[in-house]
Amino acid sequence: MNSAGLLLRQAVAEGKPLQMVGAINAYSAILSEKVGFKAIYLSGSGVAAASYGLPDLGITTMNDVVEDIRRITRVTKLPLLVDADTGFGSSGFNIIKTVQEFERAGAGGLHIEDQVSAKRCGHRPGKKLVSLEEMVDRIKACVSGRQDKNFVIMARTDAIANEGIEKAIIRSRAYIEAGADMLFPEALTELSQYQRFTNEFPNIPILANITEFGKTPLFTTDELHSVGVSIVLYPLSAFRAQSEATVNVYKTILTEKTQKSVLPIMQTREDLYSYLDYYKYENQVDQLFGKQDNDKKDQ
C-alpha cells in the first residue's frame, strides 16, 4: 500500500500542474474528492478560523491541527498537504514532534515557513523573518523527524516581501540543500517571479498560492503551467464562499422570517445523503439491528 507521502509526490508529478484545494473539515474533503481533485490542503488559517474562531497569528497549536488532520484523513484517500506554520515550537525537538504527529495522523506532507514564531498572514504587512541559518535548522529537523522518506517537506519563504527576490532565491537554495523537497514562495506578484524560481530550481516542484484578496493575482493554471509551476493552491476558496453564504442565509432568516428565498443556494438533503453515502450506512443499520428489533416485537 502506497504511503500518503508517496501518493502526494505522485499527484504532483502527474498534475502538470496539480490543482490543490483547501478542505477545512472532513465534509469538505469528501466533496473535493468526489468532485475530482487529486490532492487537498489543510490551511493553518482555516484551522484557526473554522475550528477555533481565531485569527491566523500563531495562536493555534500543533494538537489543534493534528485533530483536523485525523478527521480529514479518516474520510478520504486523497493525499493531504498541511500548513505547519513555523513548526509549533522554538526547538528542533518541537519540530520533529510536529512532523511525526502529522505523519502519524495521515498527512502526506507539510510546509514550514521562515517567519518568526509570532507569525502573520503571508499577504499582510509587518512580517518578520528568522535568519537563514535558523530556517535551515528547521528544515533539517523536519527531515530528521520523518519516518517515511516520502513524506513531503516543503519550504515556504516569505522573503520576497521583506528582502526581495534575489535573497529569496538564496534562502530557497539553502533550504533545498538542507533537505526540502518542494518550495512555496509566498506572495509573488508577477508570473516572471515564478519563472525565476522554476529556472533556478528546475528539478524542485514550485507551489503557487493563488489565494483570493491577497498580493498574488489570480493567475490561471495555464498561465502558471507556462512558467513551470507544479502545484496551484487554492487554500480557502471554498471556505470563503461557505462563510459568505452562511452570513447571507442567517441575514435572510432574520429579516424575512423564512429561508424560502435562499433555498436555491442550499445543498439539498438528497445531495448531502449522496455525498455521505447515507443510504449505505442506513442499510447497514437495518441489516445489523433490524432483524433483532423485529424479533423483539414478535415476542
Catalytic residues: 41, 56, 83, 85, 111, 113, 121, 156, 186, 209
CA distance 15 to 206: 12
- H helices of the chain, where? 4-15, 26-35, 44-46, 52, 62-73, 92-105, 132-145, 159-163, 165-177, 191-200, 221-226, 237-256, 269-276, 278-285, 291-298
Look-up of cell digits 513531503: 152
Residue 242 φ then ψ, to 5°: -60, -40
CA distance 113 to 180: 11
C-alpha cell at 290: 433490524
List residues bridging with 234 in a β-sheet: 21
